[in-house]
Structure 1
Amino acid sequence: MRLFSFLMVVLLASGAFAQDAERLEAAKAYVNSKGQQELMADMLSPEGVMGQMGLVGGRIPDGKKELLARIVSEELAKMKPVMEEAMISGMATTFTLEEIQALTEFYASDVGASAIRKMTPFMTQTMQQIGPYFQQMQAVLARRIQEEMSK
């Protein structure tokens, strides 16, 4: 009976490992897909970074925005492998195999490919709209935290 129980545990564990391995492979395929790679390239490009700079745009001296965007883009590009690994790991532990496959299929479809191409402009527009509010919130947050810490 103990041998049977041990074998069942081993079989169940190996099944779970196989499922985890499948999810990991599916997550890798998703992250390495054309749409995801293009999205990351857009987000990490100097143009993509400039769009995101709406959050701090008011504090950047005239004529320096493009230079700073290029510098940020270069540094982010160095982090791309780390970002990809984090995405793969997070996806494999968060989503089921079926969910990963569905996302991959969606973004490979015409509608999904169109949606993912619009993600960078969407995020840029959103960040530019909320940037001033975010700056105000940061100032209030810094003041409140400083007040609490000085008590």
Structure 2
Amino acid sequence: MALAMLAAPIAAEARDEASEKLELAHRFVGLVQPEDMGRAMAESLSGLFPSADGLPPEKARAVQETMSEMMQEYMPALFKAMAPVYADIFTLQELQALVAFYESDVGRSMVRKSYEATPRVTAVAQQVLPSVIERAMDRLCDRLECTAQERREMKSQLQGLKAQAATAN
């Protein structure tokens, strides 16, 4: 009985901390400017959806409207689902510090500029990646002792990927 009386305040304190962490995590998610994140995610996910290019105007509009509606439904659900993940990963003190930072002028600026930088960083990554992949393919062929034909085929596939990336830009 005495043990149960001692455990009750500890359990209540743990629930209070968990509730506070979840509340802070929701604030944190709200501070990372969901609208900008939504736009960035929509751009990054756009390749998964049918292209409106070459469609008659009414079908192109239907594709765009449907994708917009889907993102308007998806993003709030995503942000709501993200908060418990952050509440689980971060300590109470970390969440308090994160919220304080993202509520500051510098924190808000950092978030805004991070989303602004995303397309530029993606472009840079697409420029750098082919040479990294090419070196990785060479190393792999060296380790696997590829034949000259296998090496040419891998290089040819890489050239096709480079061409796809160039047309995507």
Superposed counterparts of 1:32-43, under 5 Å = 32-33=30-31, 36=32, 39-43=33-37
- SS of the residue aligned with 1:18? helix
Rg: which structure is higher? 2
Code of the aligned partner of 1:49? A
How large is the RMSD of aligned CA atoms in angstroms?
A: 3.4
Deviation track 1:97-143 (CA, whole Å, cap 9, x = no partner) reads: 11111111111112111111112122222223334749xx7xx9xx9
Contact 1:107/1:113, CA 8 A, preserved across alignment? yes
Is 1:101–2:96 an aligned residue pair?
yes
Distance, in Å, in 1 between the alignment partners of 2:76 and 2:109 is 25
Greater RCO, CA 8 A, separation 6+: 1
**Count of aligned residue pairs for this structure pair:** 125
Q: Distance in 1 between matches of 2:26 and 2:41?
A: 24
- What is the rounded CA distance, in whole Å, between the counterparts of 2:30 and 2:99 in structure 1? 10
1:74 is displaced (CA, Å) by 3.1
Q: Structure 1: which amino acid aligns with 2:107?
A: G
Q: Which runs of 5+ in 2 are unaligned?
A: 134-153, 158-169
Given the alignment, which residue of 102, 114, 120 partners 1:119? Answer: 114
Q: Which residue of 2 aligns with 1:149?
A: none
Q: Which runs of 5+ in 1 are unaligned?
A: 144-151
Q: For residue 28 of structure 2, what is the aligned residue in structure 1?
A: 30
Q: Which letter does structure 1 place at the counterpart of 2:121?
A: T
2:34–2:79 Cα contact (<8 Å) kept: no
Match of 1:15 in 2: 13
Contact 1:44 / 1:76 at 8 angstroms: preserved in 2? Answer: yes
Aligned equivalent of 1:87, options 82, 88, 100: 82
- Give the superposition deviation at 1:72: 3.6
